[in-house]
Each structure stands twice: as C-alpha cells, then as structure tokens.
Amino acid sequence: MNFITNQAKIDASQMTDLFGNGKMDVVITVIAIIFTLLCGYLVMMDLRLRKLENKDKK
Amino acid sequence: MIKWWKIAGFILVLYSIIQGLFGAVPNLPILENSIRNLYFHVPMWFTMISLLLFSFIKSIQTLNNKNTVNLNYDSEAEVYANTAMFFGIAGLCTGMIWAKNTWGAYWTNDPKLNAAAVAMLLYAAYFVLRSSIVDEEKRARISAVFNIFCFPIYVVLVFILPRLTDSLHPGNGGNPGFNSYDLDSRLRLVFYPAVIGWILIGFWIADIGKRTKKLNN
C-alpha cells in the first residue's frame, strides 16, 4: 500500500498563492482554449471523414 | 458515432487538465507549483514514443514481404511519425517552460535535452528523405529501412545515454527519479490518466491522418 500512503510531508497550502496575481487565470484560459479547439477540430474532422468514407463505400 | 476510446481520451485529458490546474500538489523544493507541468510535459513524450513504436512496426510490416513493399503500411508509418513529431514539439515547448522556471534557462546543456533535439532532427531527416524520392516503391523501401534504424537510435539517445552521464532530469545521472519519492499518490492519480488520455488523443490524430491519406489515394 506504499502507493497510496506515500504522500509528501509538506502541504501545498504552504506554497505561494498561484491565483493571487492573475497569471494562473491566463494560463488556464490559454490551455482551455487550445484543448477545446484541438478536440473540436478532431471531432469535426472525424465526422466529416466518416461521411466521406460512407459516400466512398456507396 | 465517435469511437469509445476517443471519448475516453478526451475525458481523461480533460480530467487531467482540470486536476492538473486546480488539484492539490505536494510542496517540493525548487519545483513548487511547476510540478503541475508533470501532467503535460511527460505525457507528450510517452505519446511520442508510443506513436514512434507504431511507426517502427509499420515500417517493418512494409518490408515484410520479400518481393513487394506494402505501400499502405508505409503511408501509416509516415502518419504515425508525423503525429509523433507534433507531440515531440509539444514536449519540447512544455519542457522549455518548465526548465525556465526550475533551472533558470529555456535550454541548458543537459544531455537529455540535446539528445532529444538530435532525435527530433533524425526524424526530420526521415521526412526530408521521403520527400526527396519520387518513385513510390523506392521511397517506401528506403524510408522504411531508415525508420527501422531511427527508432533504436532514438531510444538510445533519449532513454539510455542521458542515464550514463550527469543530467538535470530526474532519474538520470544519479538524480533520484520521480518514482522514488517525488511522485506521491496525489500526483499519480492525475499523472497516469493524463498519460493514457494523451496517448489516446495521439492515436486519434494519427487515425484522422491515416483516413485522410486513404481517401486522398
């Protein structure tokens, strides 16, 4: 059970506040936009390819 | 309908992003909050190596027949290598950001960094080689041989050589690896789903590339 219990002794609450200066909000927004665009593009391409493949089969 | 493993990849990556940015992390010296990059930087390399392994296998399959080359496998090998490069560049970018925050510079003389750059150039040479040969069969044959050589060299450059010398990377050059004490259970709960999720996303991108090529042909 070492996998479960092996936790660092110091807690994250002692670290500098990440959200305090607003930088983290920018990081989160940028990552969220990139990931949403990537997944949106992948879904769109997947569905479009499926349509073309079905047409090709006919 | 989108296949289940693609949806699983999306959900796992989404979970790792949310947990990676908002979840609790251990307070590690020097690393502090930059440890969150573990969920983004390392999965990129795992995805890259998985895709390169598939590219390597497809190249072997290309040459499997004594008399003819299988062009379909060759095309798949190229798509896998292409997608792997995309993740390699993402891995380099996330690594550079991490390096700036922990080591003080975007690029250091670390053997692992230099080896990764050389390995990327090796695969860049693979694409140059492909585009320089017009004849399809000849291209498939020569680039498959090159790819079969590239993969073991990549493994040696990125995973073996840096371990034999001094390196800033964890687990290399006598440094303790994340596994020994840094990667505690809170990190593991996000790290493993992130690795699996990004690998699935990588294969999803490769799948789209393969199908697009097939339709174009």
pLDDT digits (tens, 9 = 90+) for A11-28: 555 555 666 666 667 777
B176 phi, psi to nearest 5 deg: -70, 140
Which of A1, A24, A39 is most worth mutating to test chain B (most B CB atoms within 10 A of its CB)? A39
> What are the Cα distances from residue B202, in Å, to A56, B34, B87, B101, B136?
26, 24, 8, 27, 27
Q: What is the pLDDT of residue B176?
A: 55
- With beta carbons under 8 A apart, name residues in chain B contacting A16: 32-33
Which residue stretches of chain A are H helix? 2-5, 23-57
**DSSP state at residue B157:** I
Q: What is the pTM of this model?
A: 0.85
Q: Which residues of chain B have pLDDT under 70?
A: 1, 29, 170-184
pLDDT in tens, B148-193: 999 999 999 988 888 777 777 766 655 555 555 456 677 888 889 9
Q: What is the pLDDT of residue B46?
A: 94
Q: Find the length of chain B.
A: 217
d(CA B94, CA B98): 6
Q: What is the pLDDT of residue B127?
A: 94
Q: What is the pLDDT of residue B77?
A: 95
Q: Which of B34, B31, B119 is nearest to A24 (CA)?
A: B34
Q: What is the pLDDT of residue A3?
A: 46
Q: Do B208 and A46 touch (CB under 8 A)?
A: yes
Say which residue the tokens 């925050």 belong to.
Answer: B101
Task: For residue A2, name the pLDDT band (cuts at 50, 70, 90).
Answer: very low
d(CA A41, CA A32): 14
ipTM of the complex: 0.71
d(CA B93, CA A52): 35
Q: What is the pLDDT of residue B151?
A: 94
d(CA B204, CA B63): 25
d(CA B195, CA B175): 23
Q: Which residue has the higher pLDDT, A2 or B67?
A: B67
pLDDT in tens, A25-43: 777 788 888 888 888 999 9
Residues in Cβ contact with B101 at an 8 Å cutoff, skipping those fewer than 6 apart: B34
Q: Which residue has the higher pLDDT, B118 or A3?
A: B118
Task: For residue A6, name the pLDDT band (cuts at 50, 70, 90).
Answer: very low
Q: Which two tokens stand for residue B170?
A: 């964890």
Q: What is the pLDDT of residue B180?
A: 53
d(CA B144, CA B34): 40
**DSSP state at residue B32:** G
For residue B187, give the chain A residue with the closest CA. Answer: A7
Q: Do B10 and A39 touch (CB under 8 A)?
A: yes
Q: What is the pLDDT of residue B123?
A: 93
